[in-house]
Structure 1
Amino acid sequence: MATELYALSILTSLLIGTLFLLLLYLAIRKIVAKKKREQVNEYKEKYNPYLFEYITEGTISRKLVPRSGVEKKAVEELLAKYAEILEAGEERKNLSDLAVLHLTDYYRGRLKSRKWSSRMNALYYIENFKMGTLLKDLFSMLVQKRTSRDELIHILRILANFQFINLYEYLNRKFSFLSEFECRNILIRLEDGHFDQFTLGFHQARVELQHAVLDVIGVKKDIRYLPFLESIFQSYSGESRLRALKAIASIGYVNNLDDYLPLAYSTRWEERMLTARIIGSMRDEKGIASLIELMHDRTWWVRSQAGQALAKFPGGSAILKGIVDTTTDQFARDMAIEWIHKGV
């Protein structure tokens, strides 16, 4: 019994000692972190006037030379704050130039870190500051086994920001495992001239990439892509056809409304809904009869879109009131009343 009590006391002492050491470690770590934060804030106050002068006027100061990690952290935080409020222009370019001048080696070292969080953090700032000097390092990361999926996607986003010429090959073949959502997040960063390679290679692209291309066009709402969308809508079926129609509806214009009016009787409620949206955008009176028909659709989304479309027409309220007075369909009546009150 005495032996067991002795062993228990030893174990308790070890546990208390371990907890004490852990508490001491956390306390020291907190003190160090607090001191580092104070140093960062001090350098931010010191460097901010010179940094502001460079960004706004392009004037270089010899006093703005961050050497230590703490100093560079201060510059990083200041640049990040300015990046939140600056749009494209000379000031944004000066910000990028300053980041390239003082933080290139800093981020190059962090990209080689064993810690995933350090590498991801560096990628975020490289993208935010538009630092083209590190593109070679990013290409090297693409072939490294330790590069995670999140890092890969972030690198491809950065390459898209710099309009990388071989991005189509990367997304279609080299990294064909990327989802349509991931591809869409990358493609949205391309300018028109570089995005065109994805419309030209659309028929040879994998399905996920095709869907991403159609969705991005819908977001861009660029009418120059309307002939492309209409050709996809006419020649494809299933989800690709629907995505093309959705993009057309987002643009809000078609060359010939007559080509789309038969879709008011489609077996797919999504096509009926998008047809109502297109008619509403075009405000062509030849589509009013189809919209009245769609007000009696069995799907709420279709009825709602048809009501909104009718409300956009001159005299749309009168049309909706006519539906209220004449229809025997309670759902159509309720939807017409709703849009009479909502308007557009």
Structure 2
Amino acid sequence: MLHTELFYLGILTLTFSGLLLILLAYLIIRKAFVIRNRRTIDTYKQRYNSVIFKLLTDGGYSRELNPQNNHQLKAIEEMLSSYANVLEGEQEKKALSELASLYLKDYYRKRLKSEKWSRRMNVLYHIEDFHIKPLLEDVYKMVKKKGLSYEETVHILRILASFQFEDILGLLTKDFSTLSEFEYRSIVIRLEQKEMDQFVLSFHKLQTALQMALLDVLSIKKELSYQYFIEKVFLDYTGEIKLRALKALAGIGVVKDIALYLDLMHSDKWQERMLAAKLIGSLKEEKGIPRLMELLHDRSWWVRHQAGQSISQFSNGKEILTRILETTKDPFAKDMAWEWIHKGV
């Protein structure tokens, strides 16, 4: 009995050892292929380096750059990707986009249909980075397919926005109306004014998350041309949308009538007091200084912090903060005044 058990145990051990050896051999062979492919790609990169640099700086085309296999295409992709991270001139960026469209368009078109999620995502990132607009239709068709991951869907919508796709408004309000505010913001921020106008004109029809994202984007971009629109939203809406509009106005730093916003510094809502204080600081409206000094004693830390920052934005801000530091008996106001006096020192 013991002899039989030892026999089977020996067979099991040999089998397990054999499998480990096979796995080890597979990993060694695979690693060898990876190293060989890497060396091949690096060789092509060295060969193409001066050619691609010349094309990016001088424009035009070259017969020396004529990729025939995936290794050569991968070398071109990696080189263009490295240049995309450092190029700043519009002419150079345009040349890079044209090169990518010429040499990688068909390669990417095939890979967009790959069954591998990672391969499709990688291609989407490159299409956006290289701004390969000739693939716009392919990307649009892709977003209509069922079974796409959430990450793919959002990234495709970002690409369509970057390409100023004419029906991006319809896609976001009909087909993809349940995205998060963060995702909407990452899409809308890529739009230029013509496309942005569509969202502004349709503001009252947009879902709440998209409305808030749009207001945040206008604030980030500091679009003065939308000041009247944002003030109207502030007057017509309530709740979070009203607050976002106020935040956008504070970001832009321009309003038609300051009196309305001075009154907000006495609001029962700490969010409104904070944003009103931010707006007064952006405008450097001296009429608001007495109230800002009072808000430095507010019960809300956020309001006190913003009041201190706003006071510091005035030319005599440090003098005002120093006076508060020396005269107030409120320890919280003292701390906040001291913080903004020494901020950046």
Matching residue of 1:296:
297
Matching residue of 1:275:
276
- SS of 1:328's partner is coil
Q: Which runs of 5+ in 2 are unaligned?
A: none
Q: Describe the superposition over 1:273-309 as per-residue Cα deviations: whole angstroms up to 9, x where unpaired.
A: 1111111121222111111110110112211211222
Q: CA deviation at 1:157?
A: 0.9
Q: Contact 1:269–1:299 (CA<8 Å) still a contact in 2?
A: yes
Q: CA deviation at 1:73?
A: 0.3
Q: How does 1:195-274 map to 2 (within 5 A)?
A: 195-274=196-275
From the superposition, tell whether residues 343 and 67 of structure 1 become closer, same or farther in structure 2 (CA, over 3 Å).
closer
Q: Describe the superposition over 1:225-284 as per-residue Cα deviations: whole angstroms up to 9, x where unpaired.
A: 111111111111111111111111111222221111121122222211111111112122
- SS of 1:342's partner is coil
Residue correspondences, number: 344
Matching residue of 2:169:
168
Considering only aligned residues, what root-mean-square deviation do their CA atoms show, in Å?
A: 1.5
Worse-superposed segment, 113-122 or 1-10: 1-10
Q: Contact 1:324–1:337 (CA<8 Å) still a contact in 2?
A: yes
C-alpha separation in 2, matches of 1:87 and 1:316: 37
From the superposition, tell whether residues 59 and 321 of structure 1 become closer, same or farther in structure 2 (CA, over 3 Å).
closer
> Percent identical across equivalent pairs?
51
Matching residue of 1:140:
141
C-alpha separation in 1, matches of 2:286 and 2:140: 55
C-alpha separation in 2, matches of 1:67 and 1:262: 70
- SS of 1:260's partner is helix
From the superposition, tell whether residues 139 and 315 of structure 1 become closer, same or farther in structure 2 (CA, over 3 Å).
closer
Q: Describe the superposition over 1:314-339 as per-residue Cα deviations: whole angstroms up to 9, x where unpaired.
A: 33333223323432322112322333
Matching residue of 1:105:
106
C-alpha separation in 1, matches of 2:339 and 2:50: 57
Q: How does 1:1-344 map to 2 (within 5 A)?
A: 1-342=2-343
C-alpha separation in 2, matches of 1:278 and 1:15: 72
C-alpha separation in 1, matches of 2:144 and 2:325: 65
Letter in 1 for 2:297: H
Q: Contact 2:136–2:163 (CA<8 Å) still a contact in 1?
A: no
Letter in 2 for 1:230: E
C-alpha separation in 2, matches of 1:182 and 1:269: 27
Q: CA deviation at 1:341?
A: 3.2
From the superposition, tell whether residues 25 and 246 of structure 1 become closer, same or farther in structure 2 (CA, over 3 Å).
same
Q: Contact 1:295–1:307 (CA<8 Å) still a contact in 2?
A: yes
C-alpha separation in 2, matches of 1:59 and 1:140: 31
TM-score, with normalisation over the residues of structure 2?
A: 0.96
Worse-superposed segment, 27-36 or 332-341: 332-341
Letter in 1 for 2:5: E
Q: Contact 2:304–2:333 (CA<8 Å) still a contact in 1?
A: yes
C-alpha separation in 2, matches of 1:314 and 1:130: 44
Q: Which runs of 5+ in 1 are unaligned?
A: none
